[in-house]
Structure 1
Amino acid sequence: MVHDKRADNDSSRWDNIIFSTTDLWDESKWTDAIHLDFEGYDISPHWDDEGNSYVVGSHAWKVAYGIHINRVDLTTGEVLGDWTNLWNGTGGIAPEGPHIFKKDGWYYLMIAEGGTGLLHMETIARSKDLYGPYEPNAANPILTNANTTEYFQAVGHADLFQDAQGQWWGVALAVRSGPEWVTFPMGRETVLYNVTWEAGSWPELQHPVQGEMRGWSLPGIIQNLPGDGPFVDEGDNNIKFRPNTSIPPHFVYWRPPITENYAISPPGHINSLRLKPSSLNLTGIDGNSPGPGSQTFISRRQVDTLFNFAFDLDYTPSAHNEEAGITLFLTQNHHARMGVAMLPLANDSSKLAPHFHFHAISYIPVPDDIVVPVYASWLNKPLTLSLRAVNVTHYAFGAGPADGSVPIQDFAYVGGDIIPWGFTGALVGTYATSNGGNGTTEAYVTNWNYQGWGQVRENWNGTGIY
């Protein structure tokens, strides 16, 4: 973890933690966090042939470049020696993301360099001794999409593994932005490619990374894997929050939730998710800081270039500034939302009425707020709120009566360039807030749907291949 408000040379800025388990699929078997004293990040474990455990990590590069290693007791976090610098990379900014592999009598140290933007790359060095000296591969970088026109960019922070047939594969982080580096709302995603690694030689990683890779045959899809939740491409099919069910495991909160603000099938509202409003709205007090309290906000990840997300909202606000709605969310200071809000009428400020209120915030210019009274024929009825990715660059916010008597009407559009200001990608979800006022009206959500409409994996004359 990085305490990003602390100075780069403040050792308390970094908090590295280790979790371990004897069963990946049993939540009760995971340990509490074990803290490790290291002034840096991107730690990775390594075990030698005698079973000794090590940690290799990236020193805080703004303080001092370098990949460091130390003996560490992984059960206690105790550091068993002095940190030793292994390699500083090939000269690219921010050497980080290290992994050590032992193969054919060599120790291979693979790292990321160039930062996580368009110059991201993967380099490698090797040594006959764990502690070096490490000699770089003359073919570095061994993986990069830098200085290409590929749709996938910022490829790096890679790792290697073998399958059951002994074939080598690689994974890395990448974004779908093209070299324009403007719109990539799903943030950093994992890409897969094949690797050739002959005995005694350097690994050869297939690149540039593209939307369709050729190489080793993929195994068949195994549907009966252990674990909870849907596969990433399954979507959400009309989740009704039935009695005696739980919040789906792939749903995401923003910061630790106040659990009593969420209830499934409460009395009088069977088959719905109740949201108690928080005082904070999605922006919070300053667009960055936590609290006081927590936002009432629950979501799931955008996992498709094109999608439709919608739910039915049963909500009758009564107090000034109460609001509940739908959102495209990255952080408190990068999101767009459209809600039903209790606001003064434009022609009579002494009277309050439900309005559709669209608002966006980002570091770049955003569309103006849109405030439209809820149509008289839609008042006091459940509404369907929708959010669609209409193309690779824009989203549409819409609403309509939940009974389907009128088609969904789009009220606002926003560019996807407001979202790529971090690593983790967009969330789509719902929220309820009093906007700092005294309102306590609860919102009820049901018929939650997320359906992917297509993936854009390559650019072709400005259009996508799906």
Structure 2
Amino acid sequence: MPPIRNPILPGFNADPSILRVGNDYYIATSTFEWFPGVQIYHSKDLANWDLVVRPLTRKSQLDMRGAPDSCGVWAPCLTHDGDKFWLVYTYVTRKDGSFKDSHNYIVSAPSIEGPWSDPVYANSSGFDPSLFHDEDGRKWFVNMMWDHRRRPRAFAGIALQEFDPAAGKLVGPRKNIFPGSKLDFVEGPHVYKRNGWYYLLTAEGGTSYTHAATLARSRDISGPYELHPQTHILTSKDAPGAALQKAGHADVVDTPDGKTYIVHLTGRPVGHKRRCVLGRETAIQEAYWGTDDWLYVKNGPVPSLYVDVPGTHDDAKYWAAQHYTFQNGLHKDFQWLRTPEPERIFSISPQGSLALTGRESIGSWFEQSLVARRQTHFSYDAETTISFFPADERQFSGLVAYYCRYNFFYLTVTAHSDGQRELNIMRSENSYPEGKLDVPWPEPVPIPNEGKVRLALSIRGGMRLQFFYALEGERELRKIGPVFDASILSDECGGHQAHGSFTGAFVGVACSDINGTAASAEFGEFWYRPVKDGGDRYEGL
């Protein structure tokens, strides 16, 4: 079989945790402030992956209203103990400054589709938890420790404590089992057992260009742990020209025939500013166990763009245009922000349209009506049709390319203060910490007070964004506004430019009514069309 091309989960799919049950593989990835929480994908061949469930769907499991950008659900770990699935995750309510308020929870389910339980609270001492099921039946909860004093480091090491599922809590002493290497920022722990050794795989170096996966081992789960001869078994930190950058935060899986693979976080920068416009993605590498009982990445530690796996990737599916209609509800590709009460922000109208209820302003951390899907290609077109009849400038709705409250482009149907409907482009480009709209605004375009409006955008090479529109009855789209710098929809520009922005670019629809009268906008369809334009060397264009 020909090798597949990384990443296996393109677009915002960070912090992968992989699991095999029989012949089925599953990967769980972080969702941060996007609801429902945690993405779980399924595959039979490690090449083709389908989203099968987002398990955190209820208010009793997750309510992120008020959580800042890039907080929310961090680094889930998915395991199976032979009886049921277990998922551990962190809910972060604050990440900036000296403190990180991070609360760790455990849920379980008899099958991957659920039903998933209400969460069991574990602790709040750090983040990136995992659950290890030992051969003797004991379960161990592992997470990084955060020290606000920074004595000597804020990333204070990896903690181990037993979890009692019958009691529903952590029991016994907590021990710091691994301080990390000199690279610092030790996090993302996973424990494995093989040939009498306990292996501890961690992420280090932050989550940007110095990221790495570090391996250590011990004869006792509580340590002491010795470092791998290479220290970092996977990293791009010393290979700035590699196609896959930011390699780290990894997890290990074995195939039924005994081969070993590592899935890991990665990013693909574009332009001279090296911005990863598709966010942090998931890639895979072949690995092997040496005669010294250490794990090595094949052709590593720098990750390979092309990798042999059991399956062949379906490129036609990857490049297929996606036409979304809403008669049967919201497609699984879409998510919304923070709230576990989606009925307050969207519904399906009797006509089968997606009806957004105008709530707070674009970029609100509490309740904004924004429904969107991931950007998974460097070049694409998006289009929708809107029915919206605003009364004034405080009601606006339309098509948005969104990263966070500080970085978005938003083509809106709104009205002047005299009630005349018009098209306006709102944008926020690197507005942290104020979160202001950029001025001057592009000149508004008056439009009739009746009729639907087609709204569209194109992004090319992850770098250039152009908006378009057409009035009802018109076939040809017309440009509106200038060409914008789409690369600001990236981790490097998310308000915290080093190791602090963690999500990815989305495209979708939004509606705000800051009069508080809950004006409604209806969207009859949504198109997402990948474009092969020769603009990106990593997609083989």
TM-score range, shorter chain: 0.7 to 0.9
How much does 1:409 deviate?
2.3
Q: Between 351-360 and 39-48, report the one with greater CA deviation.
A: 351-360
Q: Structure 1 residues 363, 76: CA separation in 2 closer, same or farther (over 3 Å shift)?
A: farther
Gapped runs of 5+ residues in structure 1? 223-230, 345-350
| Mapping of residues 253-268 of structure 1, within 5 Å | 253-256=336-339, 257-266=341-350
What is the distance in 2 between the residues matched to 1:7 and 1:77? 32
Contact residue 401 and residue 505 of structure 2 kept, 8 A: yes
Give the partner amino acid of 1:314. Answer: S
AA aligned to 1:339 is T
Give the conservation status (yes or no) of the 8 Å contact 2:201–2:214.
Answer: yes
Measured after TM superposition, the shift of residue 274 of structure 1 is 1.9
The 5-angstrom pairing of residues 266-285 of structure 1 reads 266=350, 270-278=351-359, 280-284=360-364
C-alpha displacement of 1:367: 7.0
The partner residue of 2:510 within 418, 431, 435 is 431
Q: Which residue matches 2:119?
A: 33
Instruction: State the shift of 1:273 in Å.
Output: 1.7
Residue 424 of structure 2 corresponds to residue 357 of structure 1: yes
With over 3 angstroms needed to count, the CA separation of the structure-2 counterparts of 1:54 and 1:248, relative to structure 1, is same
Which structure: larger Rg?
1
* Aligned pairs, number: 428
Instruction: Give, in angstroms, the shift of residue 160 of structure 1.
Output: 0.7
DSSP 3-state at the match of 1:15: strand
Cα 1:188–1:178 change in 2 (3 A) is: same
Q: Provide TM-score, normalisation by structure 1.
A: 0.84
In structure 2, the partner of 1:212 is 305
2:461 is aligned with 1:391: yes
Is 1:67 aligned to residue 162 of structure 2? Answer: no
Aligned to 1:177: 269
**For residues 103 and 387 of structure 2, what CA distance do their matches in structure 1 show?**
43
Aligned twin of 2:529: 451
Match of 1:23 in 2: 111
Which residue pairs with 1:144 in the alignment?
Answer: 235
Taking structure 2 as the reference length, what is the TM-score of the superposition? Answer: 0.73
Q: Does the 8 Å contact 1:342/1:354 carry over to 2?
A: yes
CA distance in 2, matches of 1:449, 1:69: 47
How far apart, in 1, do the equivalents of 2:271 and 2:223 lie? 37
Secondary structure in structure 1 of the residue aligned to 2:443: strand
CA distance in 1, matches of 2:447, 2:177: 67
- Residue 271 (structure 1) shift: 3.2
* 1:252 equivalent in alignment to 2:335: yes
CA 1:416–1:406 in 2, change beyond 3 Å: closer, same or farther? closer
Equivalent residues of 1:187, 1:424 under 8 A apart: yes
In the TM superposition, 1:205-244 aligns within 5 A as 205-206=297-298, 207=300, 212-214=305-307, 216-220=308-312, 236-237=322-323, 239-242=324-327
The 1:458/1:437 distance shift into structure 2, 3 A limit, reads: closer
Looking at structure 2, the residues matched to 298 and 448 of structure 1 have their Cα atoms a distance apart, in angstroms, of 11
1:326 aligns with 2:414: no
Distance 1:109 1:429, change over 3 A: same
CA contact (8 A) 2:277 2:462 kept: no
Report how far residue 353 of structure 1 moved. 1.7
Structure 1 counterpart SS, 2:105: strand
Contact preservation (8 Å) 2:105, 2:119? yes
Query: Do the aligned partners of residues 426 and 456 (structure 1) sit closer, same or farther apart at CA in structure 2, a change above 3 Å counting?
Result: farther
Q: CA deviation at 1:185?
A: 2.4
Alignment of 1:149-160 (within 5 A): 149-160=241-252
CA distance change for structure 1 residues 370 and 77 in 2, over 3 Å: closer, same or farther? Answer: farther
Question: C-alpha displacement at 1:33, in angstroms?
Answer: 0.9
Tell me the CA shift for residue 404 of structure 1. Answer: 4.2
Distance 1:335 1:49 in 2: 49
Shift of the alpha carbon at 1:440? 5.0
What amino acid is aligned across from residue 421 of structure 2 in structure 1? P
Aligned residue among 306, 328, 348 for 2:379: 306
Structure 1 partner of 2:93: 3
The alpha carbon displacement at 1:75 in A equals: 5.4
Is the Cα contact below 8 Å between 2:381 and 2:531 reproduced in 1?
yes
The one-letter code of the counterpart of 1:381 is G
CA drift of 1:64 comes to 5.5
Point out which structure has higher relative CO (alpha carbons under 8 A, 6+ apart): 2
Name the CA shift for 1:132/1:142 in 2 (closer, same or farther; >3 Å): same
Any idea what the Cα deviations from partners look like across 1:387-432, whole Å, max 9, x if unmatched?
2212231222211135443334243432233222221211111111
Is the 2:379–2:535 contact (alpha carbons within 8 Å) kept by the matching residues of 1? no
Alpha-carbon distance between aligned partners in 1 of 2:197 and 2:516, rounded to the nearest angstrom: 66
Structure 1 residues 252 and 211, CA gap change in structure 2 (3 angstroms): farther
Q: How has the CA–CA distance of structure 1 residues 183 and 75 changed in structure 2, closer, same or farther, with 3 Å as cutoff?
A: farther
Identity of aligned residues (%): 22
Q: Report the residue type matching 1:86 in the other structure.
A: I
For 2:304 and 2:110, the matched residues in 1 are separated by 36
Q: Give the equivalent residue in structure 1 for 2:39.
A: none
1:2-35 CA-partner distances (Å, limit 9, x unpaired): 221686457xx22101111111123xx2100111
Amino acid in the other structure paired with 2:92: V
2: distance between equivalents of 1:457 and 1:142? 32
Deviates more, 1:54-63 or 1:35-44: 54-63
The corresponding residue for 1:52 is: 138
1:72-98 alpha-carbon deviations (Å, 9 max, x no partner): 124554121111121112111211111
Unaligned runs of 5+ in 2: 1-90, 433-437, 495-500
Q: SS at the partner of 1:417?
A: helix
Question: Which one-letter code corresponds to 2:523 in the other structure?
Answer: V
Cα distance 1:43–1:161, how it changes in 2: closer, same or farther (>3 A)?
same
Give, in whole Å, the separation in 1 of the partners of 2:534 and 2:189: 30
Q: Distance in 2 between matches of 1:30 and 1:144?
A: 35
Q: Secondary structure at the match of 1:31?
A: coil
User: Per-residue displacement from partner, 1:316-364 (whole Å, max 9, x unpaired)?
Assistant: 22334321111011222222211011014xxxxxx44222111111435
1:371 and 2:443 matched: yes
Amino acid at match of 1:395: L
Whole-Å separation in 1 of the counterparts to 2:301 and 2:427: 36
RMSD after superposition: 2.8
Q: Decide which of 94, 97, 104 is 2:188's aligned counterpart.
A: 97
Equivalent residues of 1:159, 1:171 under 8 A apart:
yes
Alignment correspondent of 2:280: 188
Letter matched to residue 313 of structure 1: I
Q: Which residue number corresponds to residue 129 of structure 1? A: 220
Whether the aligned pair in 1 keeps the contact of 2:424 and 2:443 (CA below 8 Å) is yes
